[in-house]
Amino acid sequence: MSEILEKPEVQKIYIDARGPRFSASITTIVLAIALVTQNKWVIVAQGLVFLIGATRGPQFTPYGLLFKNLIKPRLKKEAPTEDVRPPKFAQAVGFGFALVAAIGAFSGASTVFTVAVGFALAAAFLNAAFNYCLGCEMYLLIVRFTSK
């Protein structure tokens, strides 16, 4: 296997690849509720979920734990695994949007709230419905623009 995909200095953790997708479905529903009700506490709660996912890992969020304990035992097929880092990155992006949305909500800027929640919802929905890998799409562009 090419060493490009296996950089030895990073300790790699692999998770069941179906977990993040399940979490994305729950996230989509929660964000849809936040968008429709314009309720700031829903976005605060989801922001905390994103924070856990971005720092500890998506497998430690309530959705991830739900997947592990309730859904996964009922799945028959062999688990496809993936590197934890792309889903972790996606959670960090989600947290960024949720933070902006929360700031908007608490300062009365409802347009900021709606737009930020809208973007987070789009990202979660794309992951859930199309298995869109946000990390893969954004990562190289970020590296290109931030390196010399």
Residues that bind other proteins (CB under 8 A): 1-2, 4-7, 10, 17, 32, 35-38, 82-83, 85-86, 89, 114, 118, 121-122, 125-126, 129-130, 132-133, 135-137, 139-141, 143-144, 147
Beta bridge partners of 16: 81
Helix (H), strand (E) at residue 15: strand 14-16
Residue with smaller CB distance to other proteins, 55 or 70? 55
State the minimum distance, in angstroms, from the CB of residue 125 to other proteins: 5
Locate tokens 């688990």: which residue? 79
Residue with smaller CB distance to other proteins, 45 or 83? 83
State the minimum distance, in angstroms, from the CB of residue 53 to other proteins: 16
Question: Rounded to an integer, what distance in angstroms lies between the CA atom of residue 146 and that of residue 136?
Answer: 16
Residue count (the chain):
148
E strands of 59-123, at which residues?
81-83
